[in-house]
Structure 1
Amino acid sequence: MITFHHINHVLNPLILKISFFLIASNCIAESCQMSYYGPVPEPDPGQPYNKYYWVKSAMEKLRSGRLKGAIISFLFTHVCSAEFDGPLGMENGDILDSDLSSSTMAGTYYRASQARLNNQGAWCAYLYDLTPWIQVNFKANVSITGLITQGMHNANRHVMTFRVQYGDSTSSLTDVTTSSGVQLFTGNSDADSHVTNRFSPVLHAQYLRIVPVSWVSGNKCCMRFEVLGCR
């Protein structure tokens, strides 16, 4: 039988904590048995004379489902980082065409759904759109750790600098900022190279909007991208 004592030798403390919650949840559902070898959890401050209260309380919450939100919050807060993230679905299509929108498009072949990383095309805003943007609706709150951007395939059309906005509704988007104000991200200098920008701290939002600030003079504002993070 594999015990938490064995797991502790191969997983770091963070993963051990996550494993405890996930395996505990699964075992309650499957009525399986668990063994735990390790230090007794500290007692809850409200129960100073019962050092097993925390375990009992946690298991009761798991059984009732009340701990589900706490587990999800824990994973978002502590796990999603550059070490644990992955593409959220621009390139592979997990993000649907209907989840993408933009301020304008230069034509049918330049609509927002063409902005997928490594696509043989790009999203391009209307030539006279001076405040272009492209937006993703993840349809749920996700953790967003970064962006990978490209220009338009085989063309001298790329975004050189951009801002990023995020939020849980399109009416309350917030700019990513630094201590000195709105953060300006460095984009691309050619058509096809990947440029990765990371967010610190990680963003938590349903909507992500990329707002180009500068692009190749005299050409349409065009780009492709992938979003990095955790669902």
Structure 2
Amino acid sequence: MMLDDLYQRALNFEFLSEDEGVFLFENAPLAELMYIADELRKKQVPHGKVTWIIDRNVNTTNVCIANCKFCNFYRVPGHAEAYITDIETYKTKIDQTFRFGGEQLLLQGGHHPSLGLSFYTTLFRQLKELYPNLKLHALGPPEVAHITKLEKSTHTEVIRALKASGLDSLPGPGAEILTDRVRRLISKGKCGSQEWLDIMRVAHKEGLTTSATMMFGHVETVRERFE
């Protein structure tokens, strides 16, 4: 493999293989990868402006039954430190966010065994009624999967209901590494790789923008980062 050939294919928006990704990881200088990334940004954002958004991360609840091995946040149901965030706390945090120029709430939390779809749709409607200009970047594939399971419903029905109640976009937490070997070791209680991807596809079909986060440097191999 030649680095220049891979760079050119990347600049042409061609997908690279796992082998090619590993080769770049092991051989490409960081400065060159940064240059290629910047060139791709220029192609996709030709006006030359880089934008960002000010938001705030607020947790709906710290009660969770996913039992992720890396998490120091969750509490089991009935724990003395368990909580569900109340509306007054949301109002305080959103007011503070607006004062600092923020406009978006990154709303996530644990897999609470008793909080189904109606809890989230009611919460989203309340927040939108109080703050019509607030952008709700909320939940994520693992939470959608959890709600779907509780409701014995479908991903499409759950996402449509969340969107109708005020969801503006879907974050991409819980991706970690999209390889089931890794997921069984570190986050066995979360949805598998295929379900994570399926939920994101539904979100796109329903007109929601999404993001994705990758947590690496634990039990995964370099190759698994590229699968």
TM value normalised by structure 1 = 0.26
TM value normalised by structure 2 = 0.26
Bigger relative contact order, structure 1 or 2, given CA contacts below 8 A and separation 6+?
1
Greater strand share, structure number: 1
Greater helix share, structure number: 2
